[in-house]
A and B are shown apart, each in its own frame.
Chain A
Amino acid sequence: MNKQKPLYFFAFLLFIVQYSGYGQGKDKTLSQDFELELEAEYRYFPNKGQFQGQKDHFPSIAIQPEYNLAWNKGYESINITGFFRLDQDDNRTHWDIREFYYQKAKNNWELSVGLKKIFWGVTESNHLVDIINQTDVVESFDGEDKLGQPMIQYTLSTNYGNFDFFYLPYHRKRIFSGEKGRLRFPLVIDKDDINYESGAKEWRQDVAFRWSHFIGAFDIGLSHFYGTGREPLFSFDNAGGINAFYPVINQTGLDLQVTHDAFLWKFESIYRSSEVQDVFALVAGLEYTFSNIDGNGLDIGVLGEYLYDDRDNLALNALQNDIFFGSRIALNDTQDTSVLIGGITDLESNSKIFSIEASRRIGSSWKVELEGRFFSNIDTNEFILSNFKEDDFFRVSISKFF
């Protein structure tokens, strides 16, 4: 993050908090809560790296402190989450303010000001409509870790659904693996090498809107984003150099889930347009859960999703015409043991990615996680995946919560 300008943002935030009438409220009872997660992680890549300088063993530690202060019966609060990781890969050694926002709720509206994380969408294998936060790519493979996004969010709940308005004053760049890191391209991408289409660079003032509603079995969301995209575009010039930049995009998204008995029918689709590229993509699928199979709480869910993306080779996405299948197993035991296994197969090239994730609590304040990702039969023509074909890995982590 740019070192100086966010400070103004925090000053503004503090000003708002001061001004919001803390101390004038009817209920002056403050409740606060501090929590800390310490994590030790080990990632092991059994195959030798394709590119020079790549390592095989990645011991790492991470720390995530969290602080919440609430008053006015919980209708006003300040929420802070920090994050720091120390890793073998210099670029994966990073810190972030995941969240630091003031929130006020009253009757049918809610206002948040500060750095926050927002999730949109319903599908499991890909999160197309989810666009508010930049993805923390080095943190995890599944793209569910995000960088804190500065915003003002206003939500209005009505009988016709929820209306969310976002003002996004600052863009955060993606961080890519460093020289020693895996899951990268032949050239190490420094985040500062990627420019902006907008002359305002990271300070382009962006906006987003979302309407979401539920009617009986249907949960629907319609969203629009106008601003600097979260995914950079790559193009190669004639001399073989890479030209990469963040384009200004308009993206309309639709997400829909129908919940019927043990079936969850899911659909997500986006249309993204910019000066250089238009994208249409969708994910459609279902999840069915066989619950309490053994009378002891064993749930087995089966998942299937179809992924389509009409992009050419410009974008950072490997899912053009693929099928995802998976199974979610939950023991519903005292230790919350759960396992997710899955695979994605490309319908054209036969490239496949398999994955397994498992987690279990130990005692009352420890948690252990296992993860494995395997790249199989990767076609050499796969623009993105061909770079990862030697990057099968195992990850084990243990966390202690204070």
Chain B
Amino acid sequence: MKKLLITITALSCVLYMNAQTPEQRGLEIAKAAEKADLGFNSSSVELKMTLKNKNGQTSERSLTTKTLELTEDGDKSLIVFNSPKDVKGTATLTFTHKIGSDDQWLYLPSIKRVKRISSNNKSGPFVGSEFAYEDLSSQEVEKYAYKFLEEKNGLLIVEQDPVDPKSGYTRRLVSYNKDKGYRIEKVEFYDRKNALLKTLTYSDYKLYKNKFWRAGVFNMINHQSNKETRLEFKDYNFDINLTSDDFSQVALKRAGN
């Protein structure tokens, strides 16, 4: 009995010493994932987006995405459409902010117009796909509140609650792969009614520069509409050495021509 008591006391001491709330652990994991990806500077990648409706009919888009890493504030990104041909050259420039709403511009090549647009519409679909704007924007640590749930088969499951009330989700369940630079393997999205809305799985991961994991395929399944969107990435270019001059309104117009 005495022994047991001592054991229990010792055990609770150890537990107390290690006491970290699930919230702290969740934040720690998100920060570790961010840290593992630090230092890529800039990248460029071409991707194919395949939209599949519930009857299995598909349509395709092709895009080029350029990203500039910033540490004191969120990343900058430039997305250009190459197809379908009627929207070829349409491009967006986004300045992500860690706190507050992002700055976003749209370039319309037919009338050569650059338009500042509201970044308010986070939950809306990106070009008719199952990806919402918020799913594709730069994932800054500050944009969520965290809660570690469990460790399962080497995956750390963290619940993330969006800080922004305009988000289309109550929460996301994110699976981090601890042994592979905290890369994300899966995200489950719960809608405003807290019902499972979508599942995003990452596959065909490739390690670049011995440090940066990038998935070759993103597959998003909408459980409520039975629609699906698949993103297939070609090889990432991490040697492109882009600067902030490549992420300006002038560069946006140039990219769309």
Contacts and interface: CB of A to CB of B under 8 A. Distances in A.
B121 A292 contact: yes
A366 to B, nearest CB: 8
A289 B116 CA distance: 13
B12 interface: no
B84 interface: yes
A99 B160 CA distance: 49
B128 A297 contact: yes
Q: How large is the interface on B (under 10, 10 to 19, 20 to 34, 35 or more residues)?
A: 35 or more
Contacts of A73: 240
Given A297-B128, A365-B85, A292 B123 contact: yes
Interface stretch (B33-41, B201-209, B211-219, B242-250): B242-250
Contacts of A263: 118
Contacts of B121: 262, 289, 291-292, 299
Contacts of B85: 35, 364-365, 401-402
B125 A119 contact: no
A364 B257 contact: no
A334 B53 contact: yes
A295 B123 CA distance: 8
Contacts, number: 106
Nearest to A155: B250
A259 B116 contact: yes
B44 to A, nearest CB: 10
B60 A364 contact: yes
B124 interface: yes
A367 B111 contact: no
Contacts of A105: 250-251, 254
A34 to B, nearest CB: 11
A214 interface: yes
B125 A297 contact: yes
A119 B113 contact: yes
B128 to A, nearest CB: 4
A395 interface: no
A346 B249 CA distance: 36
B100 to A, nearest CB: 9
A278 interface: no
A79 B127 CA distance: 27
Contacts of B84: 361, 364-365, 401
Interface of B: 51, 53, 59-60, 83-88, 101, 103, 111-118, 120-121, 123-125, 127-128, 168, 191, 240, 243, 245, 248-251, 254-255, 257
